[in-house]
Amino acid sequence: MLKEFKQLKALYPDKILIASIMEEYNKAAWEELIDRVEETGIDAIEVNFSCPHGMPERKMGAAVGQDCRLLEEVCGWINAKATVPVWAKMTPNITDITEPARVALRSGSEGVSAINTIMSVMGIDLKTLRPEPCVEGYSTPGGYSCKAVHPIALGKVMSIAKMMKSEFNDKDYSLSGIGGVETGGDAAEFILLGANTVQVCTGVMMHGYGLVKRLCEELKDFMKMHNFSSIEDFRGASIEYFTTHTELVRMQQEAIQQRKAVRKGLQSDKDWTGDGFVKETLSMVSN
């Protein structure tokens, strides 16, 4: 990709170009790779600590992001060498994604991005009994992406955003949200949960580069609807509306008691009419 990096910076010198890099557990190899990509004029680096296809047997990709001690060491090498900002890309294939995110930030990274793809097996051909996709009769677990991972990605990004706000000055660091983004609304959801930027990959592969322009226009429409003038006006705005299951039950019970006190909604089974089933049901549901 080095040739393409140089071409892009020559054609678009005022645009931001971020190099995504991955290497095995070898300090000298990482340092050489960083030198080579920085020579092309790139503006920042995203380090792939998360790809499930990253040859874990060679301590690459997700194998690093799943081992916080290894991550701390490799992050230290990278941030000591790099002269441009560094984002560490997190894997969702881990119990608590805030743990590697915390390590990456403490090891000098300017930010984190999340999530990469989710480890999966796509299926089995029930005629041949071979896994899919199939290469010479064999396969390997791989990364699942696109719309199906969007809810999972939102949850992971929110967890990281809350950790960054409570343990770091989140305005000094950056969080990039990734996972199933195909519309401006998808992007807005990540920002509402604390992301500074949003990335798209599978969406462009599926729908073409025109998706990016349409996504930006839809995001602007969302901002106009709420009179937001910048991303910061609504970044993280939805986090405060999340609580615990216990608290949700308490709030609902309290709301039910309040409605009963003012005799709102149906009071007993004999009040059901049948014809007004939907309206009568909604009358008993809290807002």
- pLDDT, tens digit, for every residue of 217-246? 999 999 999 999 999 999 999 999 999 999
Structure tokens at 247: 């608290």
Domain limits, CATH 3.20.20.70, in the chain = 1-241
- Residue 47 phi, psi (nearest 5): -100, 125
Structure tokens at 209: 């580069």
R_g of the chain computed on alpha carbons? 23
- pLDDT, tens digit, for every residue of 175-224? 999 999 999 999 999 999 999 999 999 999 999 999 999 999 999 999 99
Q: What residues are labeled active site?
A: 51
Using DSSP, state whether 131 is helix, strand or coil: strand
| Residues in Cβ contact with 259 at an 8 Å cutoff, skipping those fewer than 6 apart | 265, 284, 286
CATH topology for the 1-241 domain: TIM Barrel (3.20.20)
Tens-level pLDDT at each residue, the chain (287 residues) = 999 999 999 999 999 999 999 999 999 999 999 999 999 999 999 999 998 876 777 889 999 999 999 999 999 999 999 999 999 999 999 999 999 999 999 999 999 999 999 999 999 999 999 999 999 999 999 999 999 999 999 999 999 999 999 999 878 999 999 999 999 999 999 999 999 999 999 999 999 999 999 999 999 999 999 999 999 999 999 999 999 999 999 999 999 888 777 765 666 666 667 666 677 666 666 55
